[in-house]
Structure 1
Amino acid sequence: MLVIRHGAFGDLIQCSGALADLRAFHHDARITLLTEPAYRTLMQRCPHVNAVITDARLPLRRLREQLALRRRLREQGFDFVYDLQNSDRTALYRRLFLPGIPWSRDTGTVAAGEPDVVRYQAQLTAAGVPVVHTCEPDVGWMADDATALLDAAGVRRPYIVLIPGSAARHPHKRWPHYAELAAALCERGHEVVTAPGPDELELARSIPGHTLTGPDGYLNWFQLAGALRQAAFVIGNDTGPSHLAACLGAPGLALFGPHTTPRRTGILRPHFDAVAVPDLNALSVEEVLARIEPYLTQAG
């Protein structure tokens, strides 16, 4: 059986619940995930899949690579495909790569503004799959024990994690006042931690508190998940690590500009809220502090 979900990072986090439901329903099946090369190591750890095949989503005119992917997929002998990507590209794969195989796609019954997990719920229900975990993905399987990492960095518990960055191609998602927020939190006696990705190392150096880094200069996914899972509170942009924190059960707040709605991304949880504003630059530190004030006492 094949499941298709290319990415990005936050999208794979959001589909973890659907993968859990597919595993429970197809408990004896060999489940293979088709995703992007950047997420091979991540998804090889996922307990709901048996194997990972990568697809770089090269231009379709790259005929040699497309034929190689088609050959590899056909060699697997799949008897069913769950297309959680639901893109024009995967529609072509259905016609050109794996014709004649039963294929589950978006039912078209879910409004465009709904989160992906609601679309997955409709899609799996239509395919006869009982839905238990889809709408509440849990990625605890991703988290390493971060105790040694935090101790080595001198991080006292409890601590607050700030996620000040986003992918470099999405600078409009970055709230620009994390340095001022960190300074205010430190003045109040809170332990502040940032865990920058490869696009955010320079940004993190300007923020007071502890910066967690790994051998490559930044934490891998499993170290990051471990640090987020132990956090007393998380404040971040609309970016993969914020979605990761929400699906790990960490309490937190995400900061959104006008690019999308918090509901559409699926980040909202009973313990994880969001604030959406027309202009992130105009969102003040005082407004964010007021929003998280009820949690600060619990955070230490």
Structure 2
Amino acid sequence: MRAPGDRVQKRSLTASAAACGGGGPQTRGAGKVIVVCLDDMSGVLLAGPAVRAVAARAAHVTMLCAPRGASAAALLPHVDEVLVWEAPWSSARPPTVQEADVEGLVGRMRDAAYDAALVVAPAEQSPLPLALLLRMAHVPRIGAPLTEPPGSLVDVPHRRVPGRHDVEAALDTAAALGFPPGAGDDGRLRVLPAPDTTALTGNGPYVVLHPGAAAHARAWDAGRAAEAVVLLADAGHRVVVTGGPRETALTRKVSGDTAVDLGGRTDLRTLSGVLRAADVVVAGDPGPAHLAAACATPVVSVGSPGGSAERRSPYGVPAVLLGGQEAPVPATGRSAPDEALPDDVLRAVQKLMKESR
């Protein structure tokens, strides 16, 4: 029985294997593995290299994620199935515990008969509640990063190395469970091939500025963002401003008469196309910043990455970190320190473009 909040998305293995830069041809062995990441979009993207490591040896890979990470999970290479479930412990506004919902998830996983499970979780989130559900689903081998005693819930408890980036910490846990990176996989972020978005952006090089954020505390000040657009344009850069469907007023204000306004005009896959073709991406929200990194585009980060910059900064691409990078992002959404100035952004963009020539 599938729970009301339990959704399944399926992709063909052929489509997954065609992913650009996915670490080369995959030799899929026996066994079904479920990878669990109940984080947001950015956390799911950071889990991508560990997912590929699992896929290099597993016959079938399911990704269990929260609704806020589902669109990112659908972009990860070598994921055969995406299972969406909202846990009553992993978001700022968690749902109430519903017995049928929990039983539905456990039953779904039990019926799937997974051979192993890899739990990917940020340092501040305990994997034990999910490990309990996996154990109830009769998953025989579970690996997870832990700082507390695992009891009988985790077979391969992996202690995180202090200061280790989230990407590397997830890869460490996967390797401890028996899934080291596949041959030729460089461990960088990757997403499925992006569409051509020239019809949206127009021809010619451009810089993307993404001023909004899922959490208000991560959003860059609109006035400063608008000033940065003008400075970038005056310096000869064409600017494309991006944002979600609820950010159209913000992107309109920031774009003014200077930039191309794509607010509300891109889903995540289309946004990946816009970011992949950009020279540099300027973002305050870690989601678009990590998506840009997954598209191999340099990043200027103007706000907190949602945790330590050492653990959550854009991975595997040239990046400049500005503003309150170590500032916590409270669940209340109150403003975190906002120190990135438009002049700083211009200098950072020019620095990255010069280095990439």
Normalised TM-score (structure 1): 0.85
* Aligned residue in 2 for 1:22: 54
Aligned to 2:217, which of 169, 172, 186?
Answer: 172
Is contact 1:261–1:276 with CA below 8 Å preserved after alignment? no
Q: CA deviation at 1:137?
A: 1.8
Matched, 1:12 2:63: no
Task: Give the distance between the partners of 2:303 and 2:72, measured in 1 at CA.
Answer: 26
* Aligned residue in 1 for 2:188: 136
Bigger mean CA deviation after superposition, 288-297 or 100-109: 288-297
Bigger mean CA deviation after superposition, 234-243 or 30-39: 30-39
* Aligned residue in 2 for 1:147: 198
Matched, 1:101 2:101: no
Compared CA separation, residues 255 and 93, structure 1 to 2 (3 A): same
Deviations 1:59-92, CA, capped at 9 Å, x for gaps: 5731111111111111111121112236232132
Aligned to 1:72, which of 102, 105, 108?
Answer: 108
* Aligned residue in 2 for 1:127: 177
Q: Which amino acid is 1:87 matched to?
A: P
Task: Give the distance between the partners of 1:16 and 1:256, measured in 2 at CA.
Answer: 23
Task: Give the distance between the partners of 2:305 and 2:272, measured in 1 at CA.
Answer: 27
Higher RCO, Cα 8 Å, sep 6+: 1
Matched, 1:290 2:320: no
SS of the counterpart of 1:31? strand
Q: CA deviation at 1:259?
A: 5.8
* Aligned residue in 1 for 2:117: 81
Deviations 1:109-153, CA, capped at 9 Å, x for gaps: 3245432112112212212222254741222x1522212232xxx
* Aligned residue in 1 for 2:311: 264
Higher helix fraction (1 or 2): 1
Aligned to 1:241, which of 284, 288, 308?
Answer: 288
SS of the counterpart of 1:243? helix
Task: Give the distance between the partners of 2:169 and 2:186, measured in 1 at CA.
Answer: 10
Task: Give the distance between the partners of 1:129 and 1:226, measured in 2 at CA.
Answer: 30
Structure 1, unpaired ranges of 5+: none
Percent identity (aligned) = 25
* Aligned residue in 1 for 2:210: 163
Q: Which amino acid is 2:141 matched to?
A: P
* Aligned residue in 2 for 1:3: 35
Compared CA separation, residues 39 and 61, structure 1 to 2 (3 A): closer
SS of the counterpart of 1:105? strand
Compared CA separation, residues 134 and 4, structure 1 to 2 (3 A): farther
Matched, 1:196 2:232: no
Alignment of 1:201-240 (within 5 A): 201-208=248-255, 209-213=259-263, 217-240=264-287
Task: Give the distance between the partners of 1:69 and 1:258, measured in 2 at CA.
Answer: 31
Compared CA separation, residues 74 and 51, structure 1 to 2 (3 A): same
Is contact 2:41–2:71 with CA below 8 Å preserved after alignment? no
CA root-mean-square deviation? 2.6
Q: CA deviation at 1:56?
A: 1.7
Q: CA deviation at 1:243?
A: 0.8
